[in-house]
Amino acid sequence: MKTNNNPTSGKRLAQLLALCLLATFSSCDRDGTESVEFGVNVQTPDAVYAGQPVTFEFDGNPDYIAFYSGEKNDRYANRDRTTLPEVDSLGLSYSAKMQYAENYDYLGDRILRVMISDTYDGSGEINPEEWHDLTDPDPAVNEEYLKSVILETSTTAKLPYAAVNLSQYKDKDFYLAFRYLAEPHTGIKSEGHTLPSDPKKTYSYDNRPRIDITELKLVKREPDKNLIVVEDMVREFVFTPHFVTSKVQNNFTVSNYSMMFQPQEYVVTDGKITVNESQDYDIDVWMVSQKLSPHSVEPDRGTPIKGTNARLGIYQHTYSEPGTYTATFIVTNANKWNSEQIVREVTVEVKPAQ
């Protein structure tokens, strides 16, 4: 077996390998992001009026553009803000509807109660003594109380709007809860049955009332009168059910903008499902929020207005109020490995509506 000891061939091999590596890395320039070139101006800057669209004209074609209008809660300067230094006032409002309620059983009853606590520890163990009832109309309990939905006639009641000032909690962390507390139904079924003491009265429903809650808003006002609204029951309030006394745990639901209490109790007799007429206890179910901080705030996010799929030469936005606004455009070029970003700002003078 012969061995090649020619040093020239080894050197040539090393040179070939170096050339191959150089070609490989040159073919996929990971740092070769195209530099960002972008300009913006306001079309007809002297004729911008509240309620009418303003047109921004662009020069350049970046990969991505995000837009901050400069209006309240849409400011580039607040992109990293998570805390409000000061809260001027705090308020709570909601709407509710009660239905499928026998007025013989529930006329005038305050089944729905709105509770607040700054001592509850979030453990899931509900002690009513730790909670304050905002809907208690007793002046000794609440100087200003929050109205609840009350059955006055028929079998349905509506509460279009109710609100209360919570400014005494504006510098405290607290929990909020909706409490469903209903006494037993009489149990007389609806198929033509009448009450012995009043033969003319018939019963329409077998279970306790259903209550729906909508339009819930926790409103924080800053000293400059800017309003920050918390209203998503799932993402922001994070309500979860807690069953203090309830034989059933179905039909108590919460979605982003609504909540429902609809207790339905059934028994099986001779293979058939029928309404449980032995409701011999007070049902007590709570929907409890996460800990809420009046000084916490979501950062201003801005609006993505362009991706890589199309060229964008102009963009329109409508300001509802007159004033001076700083519109901000975050402009980015990016590839798989790298990105370059610049910020462009333009002042918009918005005149009163014509």
Q: Which one, of 183, 32, 46, 159, lies nearest residue 107 by Cα?
A: 183
Query: Averaging pLDDT over each range in 17-26, 33-42, 293-302, which range is the top one?
Result: 293-302
Distance CA 131, CA 160 (A): 25
Residues 117-161: tens digit of each pLDDT: 999 999 999 999 999 999 999 999 999 999 999 998 878 999 999
Q: Which one, of 342, 334, 315, lies nearest residue 37 by Cα?
A: 342
The backbone region for 124, taken as left when phi is positive above 0, alpha when psi lies in -120 to 50, beta otherwise, is left
Distance CA 213, CA 98 (A): 9
Burial pattern 241-262, b for ≥16 Cβ within 10 A else e, equals bbebebeeeeebebeeeebbbb
Please, are residues 151 and 209 in contact by the beta-carbon 8 Å criterion? yes
Residues 229-239: tens digit of each pLDDT: 999 999 999 99
Residues 175-201: tens digit of each pLDDT: 999 999 998 776 554 444 444 555 555
Quote the pTM value.
0.77
Is pLDDT larger for residue 22 or for residue 107?
107
Distance CA 143, CA 136 (A): 10
SS3 53: strand
Domains of the chain by range and CATH? Answer: 39-81+299-350 (2.60.40.10), 89-288 (no CATH)
Q: Which alpha helices (H) appear in 62-217, and where do they start and end?
A: 103-106
